[in-house]
Chains A and B, each alone.
Chain A
Amino acid sequence: MGIRFVLLVNKQGQTRLAQYYAEHLTLDERRALEGEIVRKCLARTDQQCSFVEHRNYKIVYRRYASLFFLVGVDNDENELAILEFIHLFVETMDRHFGNVCELDIMFHLEKAHFMLEEMVMNGCIVETSKSNILMPIQLMDKAS
Chain B
Amino acid sequence: MALTGMRGLSVFISDVRNCQNKEQERLRVDKELGNIRTRFKNEKALTHYKKKKYVWKMLYIYMLGYDVDFGHMEAVSLISAPKYPEKQVGYIVTSCLLTENHEFLRMVINTVRNDIIGRNETFQCLALTMVGNIGGKEFSESLATDVQKLLVSSSCRPLVRKKAALCLLRLYRKNPDVNIDGWSDRMSQLLDERDLGVLTSVMSLFVALVSNNVEAYWNCLPKCVKILERLGRNQDVPQEYTYHGIPSPWIQVKTMRALQYFPTIEDPNTRRALFEVLQRILMGTDVVKNVNKNNAAHAILFEALALVVHLDAEKEMMSQCVALLGKFVAVREPNIRYLGLENMTRMLLVSDVQDIIKSHQAQIIISLKDPDISIRRRALDLLYGMCDVTNAKDIVEELLQYLNTADFAMREELALKAAILAEKFAPDLSWYVDVILQLIDKAGDFVSDDIWYRVVQFVTNNEDLQPYAATKAREYLEKPVLHETMVKVSAYLLGEYNHLLARRTGCTPKEIFIIINEKLPTVTTSTVAILLSTYAKILMHNHPPDPELQKQIWSIFRKYESYIDVEIQQRAVEYIALCNKGAALVDVLAEMPKFPERQSALLKKAEVAEVNTAEQSAIRIRSQQQTSNALVVTDQRPTEGSLPVSQLGVVRMPSGKMEASTQDQTSFQDQGMTKENGVITEVVPQDVPPSDILGDLLGPLAINGSPATAVPVEQRNQNLLSVVEATPEAAGSLALTTVDNQPNSIQPIVNIAERFNELCLKDSGVLYEDPHIQIGIKAEWQAHHGHIVLFLGNKNTSPLVSVQALILPPTHLKMELSLVPETVPPRAQVQCPLEFVNLRASRDVAVLDFSYKFGTAMVYVKLRLPAVINKFLQPISVTAEEFFAQWKSLSGPPLKLQEVLRGVKPLSLPEMANLFTSLHLAVNPGIDTNPNNLIACTTFYSESTRATLCLIRVETDPSDRTQLRITIASVDPTLTFELKERIKEYLVNIPTQTPSAVVAPSQPQSPVTPVAYNDPGAMLAGLL
Contact = CB atoms under 8 A, between A and B. Distances in A.
B204 A125 contact: yes
A142 B127 CA distance: 22
A128 B63 contact: no
Contacts of B616: 75
A81 B169 CA distance: 21
B253 A81 contact: yes
B129 interface: yes
A139 B10 contact: no
A144 B85 CA distance: 9
Contacts of A110: 2, 56, 89, 92
Interface in B773-827: none
Interface stretch (B372-380, B427-435, B898-906): B372-380
Given A127-B162, A129-B240, A144-B5, 9 more contacts: A18-B63, A48-B375, A50-B335, A78-B303, A79-B299, A84-B299, A107-B3, A117-B92, A126-B162
A84 B297 CA distance: 10
B416 to A, nearest CB: 17
Interface size class of A (residues with CB under 8 A): 35 or more
Nearest to B17: A106
A136 B91 CA distance: 14
B85 A143 contact: yes
Interface in B928-977: none
A57 to B, nearest CB: 6
Contacts of A75: 614, 616-617
Interface string B50-87: 00000010011011111100000000000000001100
Given A75-B614, A80-B299, A53 B374 contact: yes
Given A21-B133, A140-B84, A122 B1 contact: no
Nearest to B240: A129
Contacts of A58: 614
Contact of B334 (A49, A109, A129): A49
Contacts of A55: 612, 614
10 contacts: A27-B67, A49-B372, A53-B614, A53-B615, A75-B616, A79-B339, A117-B92, A121-B133, A122-B167, A124-B166
Given A48-B334, A107-B3, A121-B166, A81 B10 contact: no
Interface of A: 2, 15-19, 21-22, 24, 27, 30-31, 44-45, 47-58, 75-76, 78-81, 83-85, 87-88, 106-111, 113-114, 117, 121-122, 124-132, 135-136, 139-141, 143-144
B248 to A, nearest CB: 6
A30 B67 CA distance: 12
A55 B92 CA distance: 28
Contact of A127 (B1, B84, B197, B254): B197
Contacts of B200: 125-128
Contacts of A44: 372
B241 A128 contact: yes
A31 to B, nearest CB: 5
A140 B2 contact: yes
Given A125-B204, A132-B240, A49 B337 contact: yes
B302 A78 contact: yes
Contact of B63 (A2, A15, A139): A15
Contacts of B84: 140, 143
Query: Shortest 4 CB-CB distances between A and B: which pairs?
Result: A80-B299, A49-B334, A129-B240, A124-B204
B680 interface: no
- Of A16, A27, A50, A125, which is in contact with the most chain B CB atoms at under 10 Å from its CB? A125
B2 A52 contact: no
B13 interface: yes
Given A49-B375, A122-B132, A2 B204 contact: yes
A136 B197 contact: no
Given A49-B374, A109-B59, A139 B122 contact: yes
A100 to B, nearest CB: 15
Nearest to A18: B63
B250 A81 contact: yes
A132 B159 CA distance: 8
B243 interface: yes
Contacts of A132: 159, 197, 240
A136 B303 CA distance: 33
A65 B200 CA distance: 30
Contacts of B296: 80-81, 84
A106 to B, nearest CB: 6
Contacts of B371: 45, 47-48
Q: Give the secondary structure class of B's interface.
A: helix
A141 B250 contact: no
Given A57-B614, A140-B85, A144-B85, A81 B201 contact: no
Given A107-B3, A143-B85, A122 B372 contact: no
Interface of B: 1-5, 10, 13-14, 17, 56, 59-60, 62-67, 84-85, 88-89, 92, 95-96, 99-100, 122, 125, 129, 132-133, 159, 162-163, 166-167, 169-170, 196-197, 200-201, 204, 238, 240-241, 243, 248-250, 253-254, 257, 292, 295-296, 298-299, 302-303, 334-335, 337-339, 371-372, 374-375, 377, 611-617
Nearest to A59: B374
A97 B614 CA distance: 37
Contacts of B159: 132, 135
Contact of B335 (A80, A87, A124, A129): A80
Contacts of A114: 88, 92
B35 to A, nearest CB: 19
Contacts of B169: 122, 124
Given A49-B372, A78-B302, A140-B2, A129 B129 contact: no
Contact of A84 (B243, B254, B302, B612): B243
Contacts of A131: 240
Given A53-B374, A122-B169, A129-B241, A83 B5 contact: no
Contacts of B292: 84, 87
B896 to A, nearest CB: 51
B299 A81 contact: yes
A83 B295 contact: yes
A84 B295 contact: yes
Given A49-B335, A121-B129, A129-B241, A80 B1 contact: no
Contacts of A21: 133
A33 to B, nearest CB: 11
A21 B129 CA distance: 12
Given A125-B200, A127-B162, A27 B65 contact: yes
A88 B243 contact: yes
A125 B250 contact: yes
Nearest to A27: B67
A121 B197 contact: no
B450 to A, nearest CB: 23
Contact of B133 (A57, A80, A122): A122
A24 B136 CA distance: 13
Contacts of B298: 80
- Of B292, B299, B613, which is in contact with the most chain A CB atoms at under 10 Å from its CB? B299
A44 B577 CA distance: 62
Nearest to A144: B2
B248 A128 contact: yes
A44 B371 CA distance: 10
A80 B295 contact: yes
Contacts of B249: 81, 84
A45 B204 CA distance: 34
B299 A47 contact: no
A106 B372 contact: no
A27 B2 CA distance: 29
Contacts of B99: 24
Contacts of B95: 117
Nearest to A78: B253
Contacts of A143: 84-85
Contacts of B613: 53
Contacts of B250: 81, 85, 125, 128
A11 B122 CA distance: 37
Contact of A128 (B65, B170, B243, B338): B243
